[in-house]
Amino acid sequence: MLDKKRKIVIAITGASGSIYAKLLLDTLSSIKNIEVGVLLSDNAKIVWKTELANEGFNNYSFTFYDKNDF
């Protein structure tokens, strides 16, 4: 079997629970052989900043998509 990269797309909304999104992204960061795409809404960025007091979503090396990409 070929070692194909698995592709995963994560959509993070503005609902409360940024810690869970962060934990998921942290976990996915440590897995080899996957390609991750993230759609992070504007509200999700605000909630992340409010709940986690940082803009850590900028620190991941995943491909981030914007609503204008679609």
Q: What's the pLDDT at 69? A: 77
Q: What's the pLDDT at 1? A: 54
Using a cut of 0.85, tell me whether the model's pTM lies above it: yes
Helix 18-29, helix 42-52: angle, nearest 10: 100
61 CA to centre of own chain: 10
What does the pLDDT profile of the chain (70 residues) look like in tens digits? 567 889 999 999 988 999 999 999 999 999 999 999 999 999 999 999 999 999 999 999 999 998 787 7
